[in-house]
Structure formats: C-alpha cells, structure tokens
Chains A and B, each alone.
Chain A
Amino acid sequence: MTVFERLAEAAIRENRDGEIPDYVVPHLLEVAQHPENFADQEWVVEMLLMQVEDFDTYAESGCCKTAFSIEDIYMSLRRLEIKMDFWPG
C-alpha cells in the first residue's frame, strides 16, 4: 500500500471514527488521489499521514504532547500548496 493509499484510508477512517473534521477531508483526498502531483514531496505526505492518524482536537493542550492539531495538518497542506477556503492566508 502506498503512502497515498494509506492517506486516503486514514482520512476517511479518522473522519468517520475519529476527530478529523469534515472540512479537511476533501483537501486530504486531493493529495491522496493525485500522487502524480506530489511525487517529489512524498516525505511531506508521510508526515501528513502521521498527523491524520494521530490527530487530537486537544493536541498540545497538556496531555497529548505528541499528538497533532488542525494547525499542524494545515501547515502540511500548505506545504503541499493545497488551497484551503477554511484557513485565511
């Protein structure tokens, strides 16, 4: 399974069973479904996958020091030059 396939699976699963917000999912799938656009940035996609798998709404608020927040995911998506309506700038 490629990192892109794993990202697609994780995005759907963590949205359904976890806390990944609905509004992020289309952006995650935009990456997952177009591996040809991110061939030289696979390492960023690997990080994005990690963030989705270990996403926590309350990350960095004291008890989940190694979990990831929506801002972390936003940074990775921006790094991949994904346009997002929900985030300014």
Chain B
Amino acid sequence: MMPAYLDCNATTPVEKEVAREVQRFLVEEFGNPASPVHMYGTIARMGVEKARREVAAVVSAKPDDVVFTSGATESNNLALLGLMESGLSSGRTHLICSVIEHKAVLEPLESLKELGFELTLLPVDGNGVVSVASLKKALRPETLCVSIMHVNNETGVVQPLDEVVQVLEQHPAWLHVDAAQGFGKELDLLRLPRIDLISISAHKIFGPKGVGALIRRRRGNAYPPLKPLMLGGGQEQGLRPGTLPTHSIVGLGAAARIAQRDYEVRRDACQAFKKELLAALEPFEVVIHGEQRRTLPHTVNLSIPGVEAHSVLAALKNLLAFSNGSACTAHTQEPSHVLQAMGVKGQLLDEAIRLSWCHLTSRVDWPQVVSVLVQLRGEAK
C-alpha cells in the first residue's frame, strides 16, 4: 500500500475532472490555438480563452491580464527580470523582497545585482510574517519593484499583503506577488487591485505540471513595462512566445475554476485533517513553526523534540510521504532559510518537518504513526 501523501505543497494530485479536460485537449482537440482558421484551431483557441477567463476570475482580473507560462518559476522570472530594462532606463534600480521568498524569486533578484541593482531583503518575525514596518523603511524613490509572496511554501503562513498594499499606496513601485502556494486556496488578498503582478502554477491546485501564468494588472491604462525573456513568435501578447500547450492550459483553467467552486469544501476537509493530525501528535509536545491563525489549513511545519527530521522521514516512509522543507531545496540538506529567518535554531531546526495535505489525502493510520514515533524517540534517547 502506498503511504498517505502529505507533501501537497510540493505538488498536488490531479483532480479527475481536470484530467478529463486535459485528456480531451491532448488527444481529440489537438489543434493549434494560433491557427483559428479552421475548426481544429478554433476549438483549441476557445479552450485557451476559456482557461484565461477561469484563471482571471479567481483574482478578479480581466482575461487579457493573463499570460500563460510554464509555471510560477517562469512567471517570477518574467515579472522580475522583465522589469530590468525599465529600471535601468529610468534609474530606478532598487529592489525589495522578503527573506523568506522562494528561490525562484530570490535568485532572479540576486542576478540583477550583477547589473547594478541593489536588493533589500525584508526580515520576518518569529511567526514567519514579513515585517511591514521594514518595508516602510526600505522604500526609496528609486525602488522599482517589491516582491512579497502570498503564502510561504514551508510554513503555510499567509503574508500581510493588505498591509503591504497600504504601505505602497503612494509609491510607484511595482508590486509582484509569488502566489504559487496560495492561488485558489486563499481568495481575498490576490483580488487587491494594487497588486500588479501575480505568479501562479497549476500543479499546486490539482492541475498538471509545467503550466502556470503571470497575471498582470493595468495601472491606469498601462501594464507593467515587462520585456519578454524569449523571442520568436507573438504569442501571449508578445510576452511569452512559443506554441501554447493547449491541454495544459485547459487543465490550469479547469483547476482554477474548481478551486473557486470547491473552496469551502476543500478548506473544511483540510481543517478536519489538521485537527486529527495535531491531536495524534499532541503527546510529543511538538513545536509548531509559524503563526497558526495566519496559516492555511493544509500545512503545518513542526519539530518533534528529540527526533531529527531525517530519522522521522525514514521511520515513517511506509506510512507517510512528506518532506523536511521546500521540494526545490530539500535535496540540498541545507537548513531551511525560512525557518532560520524566523529565528529557529539548533535542534529544532534539524527536527523540522513539513506536512501538507489536501481534500484528496487518504486516511492516515495515526495510531500506527504514533507507535513508530514513540519507538523512534525511545531509540534516540
């Protein structure tokens, strides 16, 4: 029997309803949406345009605002590196992001330092919440862009974008939000019209891998002045050339539509699962990382005192599939930069594990899990 899947922040299983739509546009409706001169191409184009509306609806954007990409990593790169030329030509070469951003934001911004940009990293408090007061202090007239994530991938903590927006009210800096972990799971914050750029991925919301979007909002009549990172075709309003992967885009659209439709059902299922999980682990006096009132109900990052994360992973591998941090950095064995930024130190850092589930997660044999952990802790002593 496969272990219960508790690594939904790395990727989610695909909803059957989504898979059916992907299959249709992969096999039967295989036309190129850029060739709408016959019925094959027209149907493909309709699939893409319907998906565009479905994605836009989740954040109250307009269909034109949606640019399909290969996922949030590409969207982050397009948003941040795409602003480079505008920054260089206007002399606005100061960038701000939080210290707990995903590497897909941190690394593009770091790369801009080599071209003369300056980067300010905002700290977080012990609860994993970005310091808005630091943002206020860090802003300068030449600040080009502020990038703050929606929901942290390791802790599940929702960041105070409403307060960030207030701080930026009178400042022209572009606001980019990496929403890979929160799109379709927290619906209010991404609808704030002051957010200029939003990066999303389908595979975090029960859609296929390899597809996502960058959602841009107009400020006045103009979009943020992005330059494409690739050339060769005019697709996606010239920002992302290349033949559109219709089936994947249709899958993203379906996943976005269902996320909105089933929002409450999914949230309730995740809350019930979390209650069970925390009740089962209560005897171990676990230390939870991240402000729980601000955390989405499908994630918990915790340390089990006295047992290192790699031992827990190994001991429970037949019962639970989970990780000790971000999927993109878990293989490096480096301590989490997110937990370190929160002030988590020493043993607690080595003991931290991330459990993330969803409405599709199978039942867990908690008594068995507890029994394995009791034995493991006994051995560790």
Binding site for B on A (CB under 8 A): 43-44, 46-47, 50-51, 54, 65-66, 68, 72, 75-76, 78-79
Contacts and interface: CB of A to CB of B under 8 A. Distances in A.
A43 B64 contact: no
Q: Main SS of the interface on chain B?
A: helix
A47 B46 contact: yes
B45 to A, nearest CB: 8
Interface stretch (B48-56, B143-151, B172-180): B48-56
A79 B64 contact: no
Interface of B: 21, 24, 36, 39, 42-43, 46-47, 49-50, 52-53, 63-64, 237
A79 B29 CA distance: 12
Contacts of A76: 46
Contacts of A43: 21, 24
B42 A72 contact: yes
Contacts of B49: 50, 66, 68
Give the residue among B42, B46, B47 with the most A Cβ atoms within 10 A: B46
19 contacts: A43-B21, A43-B24, A46-B50, A47-B50, A50-B46, A50-B49, A50-B50, A50-B53, A54-B53, A54-B63, A65-B64, A65-B237, A66-B52, A66-B64, A68-B49, A72-B36, A72-B46, A78-B39, A79-B43
Contacts of B24: 43
A66 B63 CA distance: 7
Nearest to B29: A43
Contacts of B36: 72
Contacts of A78: 39
A78 B46 CA distance: 14
B99 to A, nearest CB: 38
A68 B46 CA distance: 9
A28 B43 CA distance: 17
